[in-house]
Amino acid sequence: MDLLKWVKVMDQKMTSLRVEPNLCAHLISPKSTCHSCVDHCPTKSISFSKKQIEIDNHCLACGLCSTVCPTNALAFNRPSLVQVLSYLVHQCEQNEQVYLHCEKMPVSDKNVITVSVPCLGMIPREAWVSILNKCQNLTIYHTGSGCTFCEITTGETIWKKELDAGEKIAGSSMKIMSDITCSAKPKSFDTDRRAFLSSFFNEIKATNKLAFKELLGGSEVLSYQEKRQENTLSKVKRELDEVSLHLYEKMTNESALPYMNKRALFLAQLKEIEILQKQKDIRLPTITDDCNFCGACSILCPTDALKMDRENNQVSITLNPAKCVDCSLCEDICFTKSISLQHMQNKTLLKQEQQLLVKGSN
């Protein structure tokens, strides 16, 4: 790896938020109705320029924007969602009782096993589904006063909304307690030291993963302008990038594509729990026969979920269900209003490709 790439990796890890403007529906098209990050930021620190998502110095690094962003154009790094979930599952496997709490509500009893996050609102519904299925001995610690005096003013609304959605999907409830009974049995290890070492090695591990992805290539998200200008050479490069990303995911057990971070968690649970497959917790695009095949939906789709092909006197639009994250951009920009998002069974996400519309070309 050259020095420039290493500097890029370190810069990504030094910032709490990783910004990927090419995934932002609002920047891709002014017709997009998505501005969730701006609406839910407690300090109004997020704004849009012509080609970038701007974060000012008032950012609290609460992670709420990454929760509400459907495409993960904003992703929280410190800690990442995968790190939080992995650590939670590990703690629940190793201990009889674990408490999850916000950093603003510390637990004074050192004999209690706890996991803290910047804000409970940084945990999206997809992660709650995993937590509810894997961490039956986990309890949320939340004081009676709640988040009334917290500077993260929108945090309580978001975490309760996301938890409620996760509970409905998983079909179970999370225990919430406002008081913790002090443990009579002291721990036989230094929790502060272990927490420090765990955090230190997690940072090294996360940095190495970023470095590995940069070394393999394929870590950049293309803008829709770059997609339109593709030639034979760029198509070959994209195919090689896909191989690199697949290798990265196999080696690190994490999604290499930002927009798949939350979706990958849900897919993992979907493959394990059969009853979950029959539920209708997702929305996917459908296309009516009055579509004029202008191609705007496939060109502007930030996650490449939609694809239009012209071959053998036929034109077709196909959908990769797993990549569709319900950002609504295709529905917003369709001039003929031929696309609409409809609730479908979750098992549809497990299909490799779904043909939405085919017509003979003129």
As a dihedral over the C-alpha atoms of residue 182, residue 188, residue 194, residue 195, rounded to 10 degrees, the angle is 0
- State the Cα–Cα distance between residues 170 and 356, nearest whole angstrom: 29
Please report, for the chain, the start and end positions of each structural domain, with discontinuous segments joined by +: 81-194, 280-360
CB-facing half-sphere around the CA of 136: CA atoms within 13 A: 3
Using alpha carbons, list the distances in angstroms from residue 35 to 62, 69, 280: 17, 8, 25
The pLDDT value recorded for residue 151 is 93
Tens digits of pLDDT across the chain (362 residues)? 455 544 444 444 456 788 999 999 999 999 999 999 999 999 999 999 988 999 999 999 999 999 999 999 998 877 788 888 989 999 999 999 999 999 888 888 878 999 999 999 999 999 999 999 999 999 999 987 778 889 999 999 999 999 999 999 999 999 999 988 655 444 443 444 444 444 434 544 444 454 444 444 444 566 666 666 655 555 555 555 555 555 555 555 556 678 888 999 999 999 999 999 999 999 999 999 999 999 999 999 999 999 999 888 899 999 999 999 999 999 999 999 999 999 999 999 999 889 898 987 55
CB-CB contact of 336 with 295 (8 Å): no
> How far is CA 213 from each of CA 5, 244, 253, 273, rounded to the nearest angstrom?
10, 8, 12, 31
Q: What is the CATH number of domain 280-360?
A: 3.30.70.3270
Q: Are 91 and 113 in contact (CB under 8 A)?
A: yes
Task: Please answer whether residues 222 and 22 qualify as being in contact, where contact means their C-beta atoms are separated by less than 8 angstroms.
Answer: yes
Structural contact between residues 358 and 315, judged by C-beta atoms closer than 8 angstroms:
yes
Of the CA atoms within 13 Å of residue 358, those in its CB half-sphere come to 7
75, 76, 77, 81: CA torsion to nearest 10: -100
Measured distance CA(146)–CA(126) in Å, rounded: 23
Cβ neighbours of residue 119 closer than 8 Å, sequence gap 6 or more: 62, 63, 64, 102, 103, 104, 152, 155, 159
pLDDT at 226: 63
pLDDT computed for residue 324 by the predictor: 96
Q: What is the CA radius of gyration of the chain?
A: 22
Overall pTM > 0.85:
no
Work out the widest C-alpha separation in the chain, in whole angstroms: 79
Rounded CA separation 171/157 (Å): 21
